[in-house]
Structure 1
């Protein structure tokens, strides 16, 4: 029985001959994706598809990621592998990296099989618009909360204000030291 993750990856691979060819070169190799609480073990098949690997099969590459980094990785897939720790077969890890960067789900194509081409284009367009609106709303909310804590209820401090304050403290310390030396010289001259 194939897991939903394997089925989803195979769905993407089915449309991409270049990807299946790249993965087929590593047939029999096992990649472990370790997210701490959850580990996914996948084996490259001779046909370029993936299958679930058992726990007793030796792993060729282990890709570790922190769960806290997953949102960042999902937002920026091109730099995903800069957030992970990789151990094992470098060539196989490179192939996995290239697949993760370049495989894309064509939602419109899958929807077209269910509802037709025109409806699929409209549904996908609406979904993209809604996602864009949600991202814009999120960004504005973050900016408003930051402004509230910086200006109206100052819990946070802008970096420039900290730098300015630090410079003033340094200048005041230097002035106090100069004044102390002058006082010392006046005492000596009496």
Structure 2
């Protein structure tokens, strides 16, 4: 079997699991459903992912990577200046909330669903969240704001809070409200510089 076919099979499994886990939840999707929906043999799935936990970890990492790419490119498309990009973060999440397939943050969903803190997917989820934090911190650094770590941590609270709030209420106000608070935070850190 060629490396290209192996790579395509692995990607098909990952893409299928990513969509199913996000839409239905990890505990409601079995390996058999991933096999059926991806059109690969069960042996092929286990060749690439020896256990469901291995598949879950890869899905968390892949899903987070894809989301981060989308997020960063959207923020950068919406604003050119680092300070403006910090506020555009909330315009980007508003667009995400409007997506018909929106079902919250995949990392938060996984940590909630797999409540065992020692589960390897928790570490994978923290890694994905750290990537978002690092991007926001980088923007704060580029904008020459004081205490970029504090600002990034507080923005993460706003993003995660807005995400859960939007999932609960579906009122299209969560990102707008978070953006208003983010503007106040930004002014606070500018005043201190």
Identify the structure with the greater strand proportion: 1
User: TM-score interval w.r.t. the shorter chain?
Assistant: under 0.3
Identify the structure with the greater helix proportion: 2
Structure 1 length-normalised TM: 0.26
